[in-house]
Amino acid sequence: MGIGRFLAALLLLSQPAWGSAVVAGAPPFHGAIGQFTAPAEPRPAPSLPFLDGEGRERTFADFRGRLVLVNLWATWCAPCVKELPALDRLRARLAASGVTVLAVSSDRGGARQVEPFLKKHGVEGLGVWVDPKGAIPRAFAARGLPTTILLDREGNELGRLEGDAAWDSESAVALIEYYLK
């Protein structure tokens, strides 16, 4: 094998499991959500439980039948905090259309820590969803926080965006509305 073929093979093997942002039949990913990537095939969301604000165990299966935007975040993560208001505005804008926004915090303090934090930052519409053991980001193989994952109505991952984004932007709304069809 020549050095050129070796380097080409090495480059190919070093690519992430996630394909390019353009997937056949999918909308172009641009603007505020230009880094949204989709897997070659949808993958099932993890079945691990997380807690709601009342301390009840929930799973992503509880939201079947709805498009779900899962945001993995923590109070100590500055980019996470930056995007929370945009996620709250997106939730308000698309709530009637069958979209659920779940901002699942990995803070060890659970709801006791997250609820006052959200109120302090004026983010009261997202609800309190916590994963104090941090199992959900690991199960999704999130490389960092924030990571936002779009699930279809059957609970399969349609794609993700790593890092913060303007989730209330027209490009983000267009992406979500595309998958609502």
Residue 23, domain member (yes or no): yes
Instruction: Give residue 2's pLDDT band: very low, low, confident or very high (50, 70, 90).
Output: very low
Residue 29, domain member (yes or no): yes
Sequence-distant (6+) residues with CB within 8 A of 106 are: 72, 73, 74, 130, 131, 132, 134, 136, 137, 145
pLDDT surpasses 90 at 114: yes
For 37-43, which contacts have Cβ atoms below 8 Å and span 24 or more sequence positions? 37/159, 37/160, 37/161, 38/158, 38/159, 39/157, 39/159, 42/152, 42/156, 42/157, 42/158, 43/156, 43/157
Integer Cα distance of 145 and 153 in angstroms: 24
Residue 172, domain member (yes or no): yes
Domain around 39: 19-180
Instruction: Give residue 42's pLDDT band: very low, low, confident or very high (50, 70, 90).
Output: confident
Average pLDDT over residues 67-85: 98
Residue 9, domain member (yes or no): no
**pLDDT > 90: percent of the chain:** 76
What's residue 15's pLDDT? Answer: 35
Q: What is the CA radius of gyration of the chain?
A: 17
**pLDDT > 70: percent of the chain:** 83
Read off the pLDDT of residues 127-156 as tens digits, 9 standing for 90 and up.
999 999 999 999 999 999 999 999 999 999
Average pLDDT over residues 42-66: 97
Residue 6, domain member (yes or no): no
What's residue 34's pLDDT? Answer: 82
Contact (CB, 8 A) for 132 and 113: no
Residue 8, domain member (yes or no): no
Amino acid in position 173 = V
Whose structure tokens read 């209330």? 168
Neighbours of 34 (CB within 10 A): 12
Q: How many separate domains does the chain show?
A: 1
pLDDT surpasses 90 at 96: yes
pLDDT surpasses 80 at 50: yes
What's residue 10's pLDDT? Answer: 32
Give me the CATH number covering residue 27. Answer: 3.40.30.10
Residue 25, domain member (yes or no): yes
Instruction: Give residue 33's pLDDT band: very low, low, confident or very high (50, 70, 90).
Output: confident
What size, in residues, is the chain?
181
What's residue 23's pLDDT? Answer: 41
Residue 14, domain member (yes or no): no
